[in-house]
Homo-oligomer: A and B are copies of this chain.
Amino acid sequence: MIEGSEGVSRKGVLRYGMVGGGAGSFIGEVHRKAAAFDQKNKIVAGSFSRSYKNTKSTGRSLGIKEDRLYKTYQEMAELEGQREDPIDFVSIVTPNFLHYDIAKKFLENGINVVCDKPLTFTYEEAHELEKLAKDNELLFCVTYTYTGYPMVNHAKELVKNGKIGDIRVVIGEYSQDWLATLEEEKGNKQASWRTDPDKAGRANCVGDIGSHLENMVSFITGLKIDKLCANLDKFGEGRELDDNAEILVKYKGGATGVYWCSQVAVGHDNDLKVRIYGTKGSIEWEQENPNKLKLSYVDKPTEILTRGRDELYPKAAQLSRIPAGHPEGYFEAFAVIYQKFSEAVLDKKSGTSYSDLTIEFPTAKDGAQGVYFINKTVDSAEAGSKWIKF
């Protein structure tokens, strides 16, 4: 919707490129819609596929000029890095196994990065990216979508402001059923790479959705994991990676948690749910009904808060765009992540020094922590579901 000439970036509008997300990809279009949602970002470059034909047709349909459609991500990173009007950031939406190389390349060429999760295969790689971004004063966002919901941010503020007291118990669950049958044998592209260790890494279910649980709990509560004990199951016949997991968690300070994630839980679509119990109250939030929040107190009736109707903390309220009862969903949450990131990039461009930025979007550090969590979980499971120090 944006400016007339790509050569002059008006204040408030960023130009970005994308790696991955060509025809046949689901998540690429989601990223583009999310980036465009609040009219802060315009896509101007891309290397959408290993097939240059796909890149060109995808690029054309997005109105990208031919000279910024690249055959490889390497070429894209280098040439964009040399332009006078380079992209302000790149969005990496490829399968997991490519994240590290691509992100590294763009960082080395001075370009901010948005990357899907899980960030990398190993913690070392993730940490390296984190360090690389920091050293080059570049911004790095890992798209933990679900922390973009206003009510999740309100939950975080409720905890921070002591409304539920000291946290005792966390129950996190993320259940789906799309891998209850062997979809990978039926030509489902996503099922294929996610269940393939070469492309997904050491974990499937824990990597894909378990990591959201870790991030969500960490985001809302600020709790640090002290140790964990994980059971990983491979129910689909012949599967090499997990499709179901239960993880017992002890946090520093004494709180206890259980995370259950599953892709074989028949009847569940995308059922991310967190419940947090403190000494004074509790919070319950469900991703499939994201505009509400259940808030209970030791000594008062349980409340059902709704976005738009009830008074939210400013940090949460500002993320909401429409009145109560007009549901905001997945795209709007995703757009919040892009919005937060874009604002940080704009701040940086307008001279705010990197270290002064109040960075509130999920960063490479969060991404690295997620990779650490995934690996510790697999370590525990491989050791016979033993407790592992975090």
Q: Chain B's nearest CB lies how many Å from the CB of A155?
A: 14
Give the residue name and chain of the B residue nearest to A37 (CB). Answer: B33
Per-residue 0/1 for A239-280: is the Cβ within 8 Å of any B Cβ (1 yes, 0 no)?
000001010101000101010101011111111000101111
Q: Which residues of B contact A180 (CB under 8 A)?
A: 279, 298
Alpha-carbon distance between A301 and B294 when the two chains are bound, in angstroms: 10
> Are the CB atoms of B301 and A305 closer together than 8 Å?
yes
Within 8 Å of chain B (Cβ to Cβ): is A202? Answer: no
- Chain A interface size, as a band, is 35 or more
A304 and B304 within 8 A (CB): yes
CB <8 Å contact, B1 and A42: yes
A273-316, CB < 8 A from B: 275, 277-282, 284, 287-291, 294-298, 301-306, 308-310
5 pairs, CB–CB < 8 Å, chain A vs chain B:
A169-B262, A270-B323, A301-B304, A302-B303, A328-B331
A residues with a Cβ closer than 8 A to B are 1-4, 6, 10, 12-13, 26, 29-30, 32-33, 36-37, 39, 42-43, 61-63, 65, 164, 168-169, 171, 173, 176-178, 180-181, 229, 231, 233, 235, 244, 246, 248, 250, 254, 256, 258, 260, 262, 264-271, 275, 277-282, 284, 287-291, 294-298, 301-306, 308-310, 321-332, 384-385, 387
Question: With contacts A169-B265, A177-B296, A322-B330 known, what are 6 further pairs, Cβ within 8 A?
Answer: A1-B42, A29-B321, A169-B244, A262-B277, A326-B330, A384-B387
